[in-house]
Structure 1
Amino acid sequence: MDQLLAYIPLLLRGALVTVSLAVLALILATCLGALAAAGRITGGRIARAIVTTYTTLVRGVPDLVLILLIYFGGQRAINDLGAMLGWEYVALSKYWSGVLSIGFLYGAYLAETFRGAYRTIPRGQIEGAYALGMRPVPTLLRVSLPQFIRFALPGYANVWQVLVKSTAVVSVIGLEDLVGLANDAGKSVREPFIFFSFVLVMYLVITYVSTTFFEAMERRYALKGRHP
């Protein structure tokens, strides 16, 4: 236990890297998911075909494979292109490769979450708002958006919980996140069980805090749904 205490500051720094990576990946996934959902709902035939291909292919790829493909494959592709154009060697960031791969992966899941939430909004309410003389923007902000958030929150929270746990695989490309630092520290003092037990506890804490936050958000929007 004394060995673990000596590494606590280092592991907490790794936990901060993990959380920040997860948050940035969620932001990217949210943007991609929103664009993909919009393309699926309001886009033409080509847009729907592109979105369908994206969501179908990406959801069938393991996160580990995608991370390795983007980091190592992307590193090779960029430098092969750079050699043709006379560029100097470019080193891809492990951190941003993790953000890109996880965000790209879970954007496909959020696309279906957002599409389902939008389809759940009763069409009659939007038509009623227009009949009362409301403009499109006020209708979106006061009628559609609160209900959209209410219906999307459970699926969104579930994607976030899974996304957070997926950050653990980023350590395979050498990122000094919580798992990577715990693995190195555990090997150095020959106490992997203690260090990975600490990792388990940290992920449980992140999960608990996240669950508490999303449950509060769901209660808030559920009340708005009953008392507009």
Structure 2
Amino acid sequence: MGPTSFDLNLLSLWSPGWGGVLLAGLMRSLEVAVGGFLLGLLIGIGGASAKLWGGKVLRDLLEVYTTVVRGVPELILILILYYAGTDAVNKLMLVLGLPSVDISGLAAGIFVIGVVQGAYSTEVLRGAIKAIPAGQLEAARAYGMSPLLSLRRITLPAMLPYAIPGLSNLWLIATKDTALLAVVGFSELTLVTRQAAGTTKAYMMFFLAAGVLYLLVTLLSNVILGAIEKRARRGLSREQAA
């Protein structure tokens, strides 16, 4: 079978088809994307808060973090974080007198995607917080709310309409960044597609199939995120929503 051959039986969910393998790879990609996006969101909330209200040293450290991550190609960052991160954990375990651990590819993938996402989330959320009308935050302080309570009950809900467009883009980036994990041997959609294509020599068909799966994820994500954004902007005036 040539590189451009199309035998749809090879996409069957059952042997000798590879459809089930591709779907399993897609699910692993989505697991990493969801985990990395949520980790990045947590980092972003902490980073944005620290950049706005933290001390000078902390703000400077976060500025270095966001600048480096946004300035270095993501593939290079993934290679560094994947190998150096797992090595650093095992060295720490050795210092503590504990046995080394075998970090799963899933956990390592979530970590590296999360660190990359965190830098971008920090800037998205910082901009969203600054877009909140100052009167709302002043009212929270006037009522004697602590910074943590104000963040939970006022800042995070109020910034959501401003943050969703940027976070939506970050989610779509996360789904595509999982493909970069193929270079470190993580068995996600791109790697299993390459394996299927290499075994069957039907390169065109399998890579087109992978492209369709990524596109379907994007289209479904756009529908869901659009509904979330529409709901979050219900109470905004036309000027605020623009």
TM-score, normalised to structure 2's length? Answer: 0.83
Could you say if the C-alpha distance between residues 87 and 140 of structure 1 is closer, same or farther in structure 2, counting changes exceeding 3 Å?
A: closer
Aligned to 1:173: 184
1:79 CA displacement? 5.2
Q: 1:136 aligns with which of 122, 130, 145?
A: 145
Correspondence 1:111-190 to 2 at 5 A: 111-128=122-139, 134=143, 136=145, 143-190=154-201
How far did residue 109 of structure 1 move? 0.3
**Identity, % of aligned positions:** 34
The number of aligned residues is 225
CA drift at 1:23: 0.1
Within 1, Cα distance between the matches of 2:93 and 2:122?
A: 34
1:121–1:74 Cα change, 3 Å:
closer
* Aligned twin of 1:58: 69
The counterpart of 1:203, out of the listed 214, 221, 228, is: 214
Letter of the 1:50 partner, please give it: L
| Between 121-130 and 53-62, the greater mean CA deviation after superposition | 121-130
Partner of 2:29: 18
Q: Which stretch has the larger CA shift, 102-111 or 80-89?
A: 80-89
The whole-number CA distance in structure 1 between the counterparts of 2:50 and 2:9 is 55
Match for residue 45 of structure 1 among 51, 56, 76: 56
Q: Is the 8 A contact 1:71 1:94 kept in 2?
A: no
Whole-angstrom CA distance in 1 between matches of 2:150 and 2:92: 48
1:167 CA drift (Å): 0.6
Residues 10 and 19, structure 2, Cα contact 8 Å, conserved in 1: no
Deviation at residue 74 of structure 1 after TM alignment:
3.6
**Offset at 1:129?**
6.2
Q: Does the CA contact (< 8 Å) of 2:36 and 2:113 recur in 1?
A: yes
> Could you say what secondary structure the match of 2:233 adopts?
helix
Task: Write the letter of the residue equivalent to 1:33.
Answer: G
Larger proportion of helix: 1
| Cα distance in 1, alignment partners of residues 236 and 200 from structure 2 | 54
Q: Specify the code of the residue in structure 2 equivalent to 1:209.
A: L
* One-letter identity of the residue aligned with 2:232: Y
- CA-atom RMSD in angstroms: 2.5
Residues in 1 aligned to 2:87 and 2:230: alpha-carbon distance in whole angstroms: 48
Alpha-carbon offset, residue 224 of structure 1: 2.3
Q: Can you give the 5+ residue segments of structure 1 that lack an aligned partner in the other structure?
A: none
